[in-house]
Each structure stands twice: as C-alpha cells, then as structure tokens.
C-alpha cells in the first residue's frame, strides 16, 4: 500500500474531509510527495521541471478503493474527494505557467455521475474521447489472440490487431464452432451467445471475464467428449463455463463494488422459489434509487414492465428462467 493511499485513506475518516477545499490541498500534497524534493507547491514543482526540461504525469488508480468505506457509510466525504481531484486539481494544473505536470485519473463512470451531480454531462463530454470501453470486437480479438498462443493455426492469414469483427468471428468458428450445435441446427451462434452471456446490459464485458471463460471452458480439455470434429471447444463445456465465470464475477463485485453488492445481496436473500426471471416490480424489494444504480451498472434491465438480470450475474445469484424467458434475455444482452 503506497504512502499516499494511506494518508488519503486516513484523511477520509477525518471531520475536515467533509468539505471540498481540504481535499484539493490533500491531492496537491500527494502530487508533491510523488515528485519528492520538498516542493512547497505546484508552481514551484512546475518551474523546477521547466529548468530541467522535464515533464511529469501522475497516474491515479484505485479511487474506488479509497472511497469504498465512505460510500458504504453513505457519507458525502468521498464525493468531495472525487470532485476535488477530477475538477479542482485539474484546473490548478491547467493554470500553471509552464504546464509540465499532467494527471491521468482512472474512475468508474457511476462514481463520477454520482459525485459530480451538477453539469455531469458537460463534464463527461469534455473527456469523452478518453473513455475506456471494452467492446465485443475487442473481446473477440483477445479470445483469438489468446487461443492462437496454443493453436497458432487459428490466426493464420490475418492481422489480429486490425481484423474486423466479422473476420474475428469467422476465425473463431474453429475454436467454438459456428453454433452451439450443428451448423444447420436452430441453436444460437456461438460467438453471439458467449459474448451475450459474459456481458452486462450495457454491452460491456471485461477482459478478465474472457480469460476466465477460456480457462473454465478448457479446464478438462484432455477429457472433453469431442462430439463435433469441426471445433476445439464443445457446446457443453461452453455452457458449463458460464456458472463459474458468474460466481467469480459476483466475488469481484463484493470486493470492488461493495455498494452494488449490498443491493445484489437482496436478490441472494430471496426465497429460492421466487428466484425466477423475468421479475415484476412487486417481487423486487428495492428502492427506486437502488434499481437505478443496478440499471446504471448494466446489472438490471426493464422490458415490457418486467425486470431481467444479465447472465453474468444471474447464475451466481441463483435465478432461473420462466418458460420462454431465456431467448428474451439473450436478445436484450445482444442489443
């Protein structure tokens, strides 16, 4: 744990952290500590770098870890911390004479939208081009890149880093088949089903979910029943891999997004006979704010006045489908 993180975490618990200006000073001091040399302020550090022909970029990661306890305690302290670093400190850096100090802040969109409750869309539009989005095309690219390390023939004749989604999907048919069954069957297309099962309702999925899927789908490769000779991974292994992926996902939410996990805990505590999808509003013991939080994260979606959970958390939460609901929820995921 870094010195800066310890100091900022301790400050989060103090009374003076409940206003914005002290947080600006705390962040500035963190930058100065990172530079070393006992600088008295950002202008002095900026001038020092100018004399030496150097520039400095500070990278801030782990903001959600710093703010997690304050979020759970439902205090506004963490909001002042976020506003200070993402707005005030950046303005301070912009106003330096030489502009030798930069900063790169990694923050989740839901945190920013809740903390910056005035003109958030304007704030987001300023930095929209820097927003990190993991699309299904990048996910397929990662799958092919990883699989080709073990089976080089998969990527023969293409440049993985520049290939289109269609080319990637075609190459991956050798890995998991065109469909989750014979090519002329009515089963779902493999690439679409897998991407949908690993995505949330915002269409986002994480690289770690893809890596985990490949791990679990090939865990018993030596003993796999090779029903279809046209592929390397069989439909049964593909379907069975989603449950452990879902369980790992829920564990991550528990450790990284405790405020969201608290809401999902209500689903976990439901009677098992009530755990069916879709759900109607009378079955959901959540406040409007909690529903909005889950929807914002892509963990809940309403369609035709009924609520659905994405596959990536449904299985770990223990929900099953009513008859005919599975095709519906997968169509919501694919969109």
**Same structural domain, 164 and 51:** no
In a shared domain, residues 235 and 168: yes
Residue bearing the bigger pLDDT, 323 or 255? 255
Q: Categorize the per-residue pLDDT at 330 as very low, low, confident or very high, splitting at 50, 70 and 90.
A: low
276 lies in which domain range? 136-334
Alpha-carbon gap, residue 260 to 299, rounded angstroms: 9
Max CA-CA distance within the chain? 72
Query: What is residue 54's predicted lDDT score, i.e. its pLDDT?
Result: 96
The residues pairing with 104 across neighbouring beta strands, listed in sequence order, are 59
Residue 266 has a pLDDT of 93
Quick one: average pLDDT of 33-38? 87
Q: Is 1 helix (H, G, I), strand (E, B) or coil?
A: coil
- Judge if 241 and 153 occupy the same domain: yes
pLDDT at 36 over 70: yes
pLDDT tier for residue 257 given thresholds of 50, 70 and 90:
confident
* 67-95 confidence digits (pLDDT tens): 988 888 888 999 999 999 999 999 999 99
Indicate the residue among 108, 130, 152 that finishes a domain.
130
Out of 97, 130, 163, a domain closes at 130
Residue 335 pLDDT exceeds 60 = no
Could you tell me if 299 and 264 are in contact, meaning their C-beta atoms sit under 8 angstroms apart? yes
Residue 62 has pLDDT above 80, yes or no: yes
Same domain, 307 and 163: yes
Does residue 150 share a domain with residue 19? no
User: Which letter does DSSP use for residue 159 in this model?
Assistant: -
How many domains, in total, are found in the chain? Answer: 2
Asked if pLDDT for residue 328 goes beyond 70, the answer is no
Confidence (pLDDT) at 85: 97
The reply to whether 311 and 195 lie within a common domain is yes
3-state helix, strand, coil in the chain (%, to 5): 60, 5, 30
Q: Would you state the pLDDT for residue 284?
A: 84
The reply to whether 223 and 111 lie within a common domain is no
pLDDT single digits (tens) 205-237: 889 999 999 999 999 888 889 899 999 999 999
125 and 152 assigned to the same domain: no
Q: Give tens-digit pLDDT for 135-191.
A: 889 999 999 999 999 999 999 999 999 999 999 999 999 999 999 999 999 999 999
Q: In sequence order, which residues have a C-beta less than 8 Å from that of residue 49 and are 6 or more positions away?
A: 55, 56, 98, 100, 101
Given 88, 105, 130, the domain boundary residue is 130
pLDDT number for residue 138: 92
């Amino acid at each position: 744990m870094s010195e800066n993180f310890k100091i900022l975490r301790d400050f989060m618990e103090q009374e003076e952290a409940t206003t914005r200006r002290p947080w600006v000073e705390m962040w500035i001091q963190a930058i100065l500590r990172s530079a070393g040399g006992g600088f008295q302020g950002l202008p002095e550090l900026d001038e020092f770098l100018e004399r030496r022909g150097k520039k400095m970029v500070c990278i801030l990661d782990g903001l959600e870890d710093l703010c997690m306890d304050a979020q759970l305690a439902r205090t506004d302290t963490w909001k002042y911390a976020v506003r200070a670093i993402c707005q005030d400190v950046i303005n301070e850096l912009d106003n330096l004479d030489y502009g030798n100090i930069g900063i790169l802040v990694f923050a989740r969109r839901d945190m920013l939208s809740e903390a910056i409750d005035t003109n958030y869309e304007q704030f987001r539009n300023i930095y929209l081009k820097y927003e990190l989005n993991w699309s299904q095309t990048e996910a397929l690219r990662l799958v092919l890149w990883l699989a080709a390390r073990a089976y080089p023939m998969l990527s023969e004749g293409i440049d993985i880093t520049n290939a289109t989604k269609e080319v990637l999907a075609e190459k991956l048919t050798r890995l998991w088949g065109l469909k989750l069954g014979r090519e002329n069957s009515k089963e779902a297309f493999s690439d679409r089903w897998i991407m949908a099962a690993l995505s949330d309702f915002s269409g986002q999925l994480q690289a770690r979910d893809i890596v985990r899927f490949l791990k679990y789908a090939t865990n018993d490769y030596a003993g796999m029943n090779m029903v279809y000779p046209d592929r390397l991974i069989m439909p049964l292994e593909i379907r069975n891999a989603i449950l452990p992926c879902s369980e790992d996902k829920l564990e991550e939410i528990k450790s990284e997004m405790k405020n969201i996990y608290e809401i999902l805990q209500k689903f976990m505590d439901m009677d098992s006979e009530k755990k069916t999808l879709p759900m109607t509003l009378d079955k959901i013991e959540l406040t409007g704010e909690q529903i909005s939080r889950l929807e914002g994260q892509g963990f809940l979606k309403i369609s035709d006045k009924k609520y659905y959970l994405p596959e990536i958390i449904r299985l770990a939460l223990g929900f099953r489908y009513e008859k005919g609901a599975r095709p519906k929820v997968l169509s919501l995921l694919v969109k």
